[in-house]
Homo-oligomer: A and B are copies of this chain.
Amino acid sequence: MRLASGFAGDDVVAENPLVRKLRAYSDLDSDDMARLEELCVNVHCIEPRCDIIGDGQRPEHNNLMLEGWGARYKDLPDGERQIVGFLIPGDFCDLHVTLLGKMDHGICALTRCRVAYVPDQLLTRITSSSATLARAFWRSTLVDEAILRSWVINNGQRDAVEAVAHLFCEMHLRMTNVGLVRDHQFTVPVTQQDLGDALGMSMVHTNRALQNLRAESLIQFAKKELTILDLDRLRQRARFDPSYLHLRRE
């Protein structure tokens, strides 16, 4: 299977993104991988700027992102929107949220997305048939939590330029992890408004932080394509420590 993302250059890249992602945390045998493929049969397309699942809804299945980017968001009473997470291929939107009942935030598509609807029973069947996979899912939720902690730090302790740089470093690793980075370049299909909503700053100031990073020759960012010109210096600028992502390489 070859994804339409335009990055499918070799077999590894063309793999199922969920498989790619989980292999970063655990060794999977071919049975495990086959089981993961099973999860991705019921695939739907979502148009950009449409909700994959809205705030307050009760999901009937788990949404698994196969292609495209999404954003977790929360709309506030005063009309502001905070983005609390970006979703890329291989990410579950709402793993086990059926346990909680209602969603306490929404998830919307930033691009046209391909999303697999995974029934709860299928998920429980698969995790109970493979302890490895059960652990791999656990690990991925723990990493999601670690990412959230790093976002709290981002909004709390870093200035504008550091915050943008840090987010780019994080997305660079996560995208690499699912094989979507080529020559230090990858798609970041967000507007500067979205970036600001994620980092808790205004669009104007986000723009100036980006210009700052460009002026220092650390990145290029145009037409939703991000190129990292000097990874080491970018990470220094962001005070980025990749350990919270718990990837086996790095």
Q: Which residues of A contact B (CB under 8 A)?
A: 72, 74, 76-78, 80, 82, 84-85, 96-97, 99-102, 104-105, 135, 138-139, 141-146, 148-149, 151-153, 155-157, 199-200, 239, 243-244, 246
Contacts and interface: CB of A to CB of B under 8 A. Distances in A.
A84 B152 CA distance: 7
A177 to B, nearest CB: 15
A80 B99 CA distance: 37
A74 to B, nearest CB: 6
A77 B166 CA distance: 14
Contact of A239 (B77, B85, B105, B138): B77
Contacts of A200: 152, 155-157
A44 to B, nearest CB: 24
Contacts of A151: 152
18 contacts: A76-B239, A78-B239, A82-B156, A99-B135, A99-B139, A100-B142, A100-B146, A101-B246, A104-B146, A104-B149, A104-B244, A144-B145, A145-B148, A148-B148, A148-B149, A151-B152, A152-B200, A155-B155
